[in-house]
Structures are given as C-alpha cells and as structure tokens.
Amino acid sequence: MGTYDYQTYDVIKPRELDGQRSDAPVVIVGAGPIGLAAAIDLALQGIKTIVVDDNNVVSVGSRAICWAKRSLEIFDRLGVGQRMLEKGVTWQLGRVHVGDEQVYTFDLLPEAGHQYPAFINLQQYYVEQYLIERCADFPDLIEIRFKNKVVAVRNQPDQVELDLETPFGDYTLNAQWLIACDGAKSFVRDALGLQFKGQVFDEQFLIADIKMEADFPSERWFWFMPTFHPGQSALLHKQPDNIYRIDLQLGADADVALEKQPERVIPRIKKVVGERPFELDWVSVYQFRCAKLDRFVHDRVVFAGDSAHVVSPFGARGGNGGIHDIDNLGWKLARVVRGEADTSLMETYNQERVYGSEENIRNSTWTTQYMSPETSVATLFRDAVLDLAKTRAFARRMVNAGRLSVPCVLEEFALQTPSPAISTVRTGQVCPDAPLSLNGRPQWLLPMLGGAFKLLCVGCEIRVNGLESIVIGDGGYEDATGKAVKDYGQGVYLIRPDQHVAAQWTAPTESDILSALARAGGEQC
C-alpha cells in the first residue's frame, strides 16, 4: 500500500528471557509519537527507559498530520523539529467555502519573530520514523522492544509490574513508573479498570489520502455544504510527497464497510479534485468521541496522549495535545526519579494536563456541534453565521471549522509563583520566541530555554548559583529585531524546563528567585 516505504524494525529477544534483569526506572507502553517523545525527553534528562510496543512498524496511514507551532518547538527541543520542518508542508492559506462560494480566507504565513510556522502537515509515519531514529542517539538510555505485548499490569504504590508476550516467550518487567502511551484503545487503561468518560458523536467521516501530481497550493480548503457533497462538510489539505488529505462528512447513518470501498470513494474524490488523475493511498472511515480520564496519574501509572484523552480531529488537538503532555511530564518525572522532588510533583502533571485536555475537549466539542448541528435551532444559528460571514467580518470569526491548537496558560497552578505581569508575557504561558544574535551570529531564544530551569534576564543581568542565566541586552545577546524587549519588557523570568514562565519580576532578590525555583521544582507542592 501507498507511497511510504514501511520498514519493519528488528525484534530482539528481551534479556529477561536470558535470565538477566533491566534497570530502567521507567517503562513506556506504546511506540507512537507520544511514547517515543517521552523516551527522548527522559533520555535528555539522563533517565533510562524501555519502550514496549505490540507492533514493529510505524503508523499505517497518515493519521495525525497537522503539527502546530508549539509541538514543533517541543520537537525541536527533542531534536527532530528541523527535520520535520524540512519535510513537512508549511501552510500558507486557509480558505473557507459555503456551498461553492469562497466566504473568506485566513492567513497562516509564518509569524514574524518565530523560528517555527503556525502549522505544518506531516504524516504520522514520518514523525514516528524520525523519533525512532532519534532514539538511536541514546543507545544507553532508550531500548525499544518491538512486538512486546503487555498482557497484565500490576500497579503498586511504589512500583509497577508488567507481564509481556513476545515471539521469544513471555516475561515480567518491573519499573518504578509506567507511562501509558498506548492510544485511544489503551490496554493499560482497561487493565486498571479506569473509566473513559465523554461524549460519542454519531457523525461519521471518511478520510482519504490520495496521491496526485497536480500542483495544488499548500492551502487548507474547507467547505460547508458544497454542491459536490450536498449537506455535508469537506476538507482538503496537502501533505508531503504529493499526498492530499480529503475529509468528507458522511452523516450518522452511512454504512462504514460500504463507504470504504474504492468504487464508492473514487467518485466522491473526483467531485473534489475534478478530472486530475490520482491514486488512493489510504482510506479510513471514522467516528469520534470526546472523552478523558478523570485523572492522568494513578499510583505509578501515568497516562499521556490518546490513552488519557481523545478529541475530534477538527483543530488538530489529538497528536498536539499528546506532545504537550510529554513536554509537561518529562522533566517532572525525571526530577522524581532522581529523588529531587517527591511524587507530589507528579500531581502537578495531573492537574496541569487535565486542565489542558479539558480546554482541548471543550474547543473540539464546540467545533463538532457547529459543523454537525444536532438540533434544528443549532442548524438555524449555524446557517445564519455562515450567511452573515459572506458580508460581515464579525461573523467570519464565528465560523467554526476547527480552532487550531494553542498551548494553555498554567497561571493558576501551584508551581507558578503569583506575581504581577511585568509585560505582555503572562506567568504560566509558553515563552514566545525571539530572534537574537551574539557577535553577529543569529540565535533563536527558545532553543536556549528549556531542558532545565533557566533565568531569562532582559535588559539586566542576574546570576544565581546553579541556575543558568540567559541575558538579553546589557552585554548579553542582542535583541536582533527588538521583539524580545517588546514581548518581555525589562525584567527577570524564571523559566521551567518545558519553557513555561514560572515567575517574573522587575528586580528580584536572590531569595525571591530561590523560593520560586523551589516551588516550581516541586519542593513545596
């Protein structure tokens, strides 16, 4: 099938079957983008992991294709961001149509002063391949065990034990922590008997990836009720390798098995792309739900990605939301494993990411209700918005064909030190990037933040033992375009390892900084 050359990865006999033991403190279940990102993030913190997966190929089908700026920044920290950017398709323009009429366009040109664009499209199989290859840079820290299937989980207060089946035989693995990244149908979640609560939507959608040599622009085209697909919605966007993703709403009563047949799919696609020649690369029919676990941490088992929360695909909050989980989790789990913080730091992962996933579910539920209204009054208002959008700018912003994923602001949570904002950058938000330079050499701000706690000093210089200071102005990096000062003003920011602002001051004392650091590092939570 298809354009991508699916490699199978070597399946190696686990050393446990030779009577040896493993000393990795963390086991990750699932070698998808979220599990692999977790392994790399922990490796960057010096923490050993074993990743187990019941399969030995990357994702079959393009699946998650839309990667938002914040995810790209996280992938950059993990060492694959540039590779993804080079291969991916950077969007330029979104076009929204009602019927066959274009109602408005929105611009997704790269935001000035940011290293990464708003979004790229890149098939999940490439992301997984790049992450697997990146894992190979840490041979002493990451061990991926393909075709190792978890069949039992025993979650205990101070450790976790898993039974696994492999082609070589069965064995048991012990670890201090387990991260369940085993997807929407998570075995680990079921094994722990946890409820996955939420709303199922009846609406069914067809996804088709087609290969087409036609030179369509790198745009996202969305239609409400086009004449080629009456009464439903349609979406077209471009991926690398001349692959185009087409999403067609099918309604609640469509027959899944029938709709997947090429003889049904091809005529529908011809209505979208006209007489341009194409071949089918991948077809899937899906229904979705918006659901989440009540808690993402259960004793020694931590849930991240689709095992913890699932959303509708509109707004690209699935894969991106999972990567945000790992960004939040990696440094915290590393501190706990190293004994620098107690397990209460893990509770802050639970709180911050439950909050983030609720935001994602809320947004994606609203989009779904807008796109497939379930009552006549919802249809009435939806159609009124679409009609007004043709002539009224205010209504254009109300058209909801997916609110694109943005990182959440963690201001209200325990790790952040409440303090009046000294600029437009709020405590708890992700640091905005800025172009800097040092001795004439360009340097982005964000890659210098992250990985460890850092002090960002703008227009001043403050040094505290054991904490790296990044100084802009005042003899440090030059603010190449003035964006850093414009965003950050003048002052001092304590930045978490996941690049969120933990505290900010105009003129802090050393003890202000040390107490904010202790708080953000989980020593007082």
Partner 1 sequence: MLNLDYNFADQHDQLYNELLLLHDGLDADQSQALNARLILILMNHIGDADVLREAFKAAQL
Residues of this chain that interact with partner 1 (CB under 8 A) are 363, 366, 369-370, 375-378, 381, 385, 392-394, 397-398, 400, 403
What is the number of alpha carbons within 13 Å of residue 300 lying toward its C-beta? 20
* Closer residue to partner 1 (CB): 104 or 286: 104
Least Cβ distance, residue 323 to partner 1 (angstroms): 23
Segment (H or E) for 131: helix 124-135
Q: Toward partner 1, which CB reaches closer, 287 or 369?
A: 369
Residues in the chain: 525
Q: How far is the CB of 429 from partner 1 (least distance, A)?
A: 15
Give the span between the Cα atoms of 90 and 108, in whole angstroms: 9
Residue in the block written with tokens 């033992």: 465
Nearest to 479 by CA among 507, 456, 463: 456
Q: Closest approach of Cβ 362 to partner 1, in Å?
A: 8
What tokens were used for 7? 């490699």
Q: How far is the CB of 124 from partner 1 (least distance, A)?
A: 27
The CB-of-382 to partner 1 minimum distance in angstroms stands at 9
By C-beta, is 229 or 403 nearer to partner 1?
A: 403
CB of 92 to partner 1, least distance (A): 23
Which of 154, 403 has the CB closer to partner 1? Answer: 403
* DSSP structure string for 325-343: HHHHHHHHHHHHHTTSS-T
295 vs 397 by CB, closer to partner 1: 397
Nearer to partner 1, 124 or 372 (CB): 372
Sheet with 435-438, side-by-side order of all strands: 441-444, 435-438, 478-479
Measure the CA–CA gap between 106 and 12, rounded to whole angstroms. Answer: 49
Question: Rounded to the nearest 5°, which phi and psi values hold at 364?
Answer: -75, -30
Q: Which is nearer to partner 1, 201 or 303 (CB)?
A: 201
Nearest distance, CB of residue 447 and partner 1, angstroms: 30
* CA 436/CA 148 separation, integer angstroms: 46
What torsion do the CA atoms of 42, 45, 50, 52 make, to the nearest 10 degrees?
Answer: 10
- Whether the CB-CB separation of 90 and 217 falls below 8 Å is answered with no
Q: Which amino acid is at 511?
A: S
For residue 71, the minimal CB distance to partner 1 (Å) is 22
- Paired with 235 in beta bridges are 222, 247
DSSP per-residue letters across 344-376: HHHHHHHHHHHHHHHHHHHHHHHHHHHHS--SH
Residue 514: Cβ within 10 Å count: 16
Taking the least distance from each CB to partner 1, the nearer of 136 and 377 is 377
Minimal distance in Å, beta carbon 461 to partner 1? 37
Of the pair 199, 509, the CB lying nearest partner 1 is at 199
